[in-house]
């Protein structure tokens, strides 16, 4: 028990970061799941891409930008954990705790990516490619 | 397990961790000549390795990403403002969304590059600090021998 507590205290910063990150991801995932189901319903009822993206004051685009921010901050927390793990490794408990932290972070990142990919990322890619096409086609005229 | 015991474990862990971050100068001074040489070579090569990563790899990646983003942003901005009035209402909306997403991604990538560079300099600072101590002790040993 003492060894376990020592390992917890040794990695306290990473654990706090993980908890804060998990809370953000949980709130984000919860709201995104609701939005995703609404967007899929709209898509099925015949709304076009632009109307779906513009739903609730472009909420889909905000969620996409939050996903990028969450992705980058997740990667930074993984780097911080690996760095601390190299510096302050004390024993097998530290190793296990750090591996669990990294594993949870990777699962959270995959979850964010999975939730954002359909339908928001798909819609954004469609609009993005069309937009770039319009801009350059009209510029080259 | 009472609260005092947990508090003691916390204090013990903090002390251990602090001791790991502190450079023990007396320990370096008490090293034999062979040990000192070996550690000095390790610290110096590690410092040079990180400096070279900064100079060549990180420098090239940062400059190329910033140039690429700058070029794309400039190109998109000029095209967007010069062509905006020619588009129909629907196209205007598509083009505006594309422009806003591109600029936001560019800003997020730039901020993350700054954060990575900050972490990198922090690592480099520790390496240079240790190298400086080793070099000072080396000078001291040289003076003592003469």
pLDDT in tens, B10-53: 888 888 877 777 777 888 888 888 888 999 999 999 999 989 98
What is the longest distance spanned by two Cα atoms in chain B? 85
| Structure tokens that stand for B114 in this block | 């700054």
What's the mean per-residue pLDDT of chain B? 85
Closest partner residue to B101 (CB to CB) among A6, A80, A128 is: A128
- Residue A22 confidence (pLDDT): 96
| Structure tokens that stand for B72 in this block | 């794309």
CB contact under 8 A, A132 and B98: yes
ipTM over 0.85: no
Q: Across the 141 residues of chain A, what is the mean pLDDT of every consecutive 10-residue run?
A: 77 91 96 93 88 88 92 91 80 86 95 91 88 77 62
- Name the packing angle between helices A55-88 and A122-139 (round to 10°): 110
The whole-angstrom distance between B16's CA and the closest CA on chain A is 9
Residues of A in contact with B73 (CB under 8 A): none
- In angstroms, rounded to a whole number, what is the distance separating the alpha carbons of residues A41 and A52? 10
Does residue B100 carry a pLDDT above 80?
yes
Q: Is A137 on the interface with B (CB under 8 A)?
A: no
pTM for the structure as a whole: 0.81
The whole-angstrom distance between A30's CA and the closest CA on chain B is 23
The whole-angstrom distance between A96's CA and the closest CA on chain B is 17
């Amino acid at each position: 028990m003492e060894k376990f507590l020592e390992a917890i205290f040794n990695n306290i910063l990473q654990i706090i970061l993980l908890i804060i990150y998990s809370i953000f991801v949980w709130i984000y995932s919860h709201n995104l799941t609701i939005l995703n189901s609404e967007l899929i319903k709209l898509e099925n009822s015949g709304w076009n891409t632009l109307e779906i993206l513009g739903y609730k004051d472009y909420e889909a685009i905000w969620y996409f930008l939050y996903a990028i921010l969450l992705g980058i901050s997740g990667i930074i927390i993984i780097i911080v954990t690996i760095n601390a793990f190299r510096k302050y490794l004390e024993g097998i408990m530290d190793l296990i705790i750090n591996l669990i932290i990294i594993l949870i972070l990777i699962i959270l990142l995959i979850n964010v990516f999975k939730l954002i990919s359909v339908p928001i990322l798909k819609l954004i890619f469609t609009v993005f490619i069309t937009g770039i096409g319009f801009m350059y086609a009209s510029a080259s005229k | 397990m009472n609260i005092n015991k947990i508090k003691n474990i916390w204090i013990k862990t903090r002390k251990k961790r602090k001791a790991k971050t502190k450079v023990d100068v007396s320990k370096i001074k008490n090293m034999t000549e062979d040990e000192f040489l070996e550690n000095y070579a390790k610290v110096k090569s590690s410092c040079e390795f990180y400096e070279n990563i900064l100079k060549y790899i990180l420098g090239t990646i940062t400059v190329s990403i910033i140039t690429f983003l700058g070029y794309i942003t400039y190109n998109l901005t000029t095209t967007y403002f010069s062509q905006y009035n020619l588009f129909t209402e629907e196209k205007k909306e598509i083009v505006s969304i594309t422009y806003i997403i591109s600029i936001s991604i560019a800003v997020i990538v730039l901020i993350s590059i700054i954060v990575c560079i900050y972490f990198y300099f922090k690592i480099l600072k520790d390496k240079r600090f240790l190298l400086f101590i080793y070099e000072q002790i080396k000078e001291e040993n040289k003076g003592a021998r003469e």
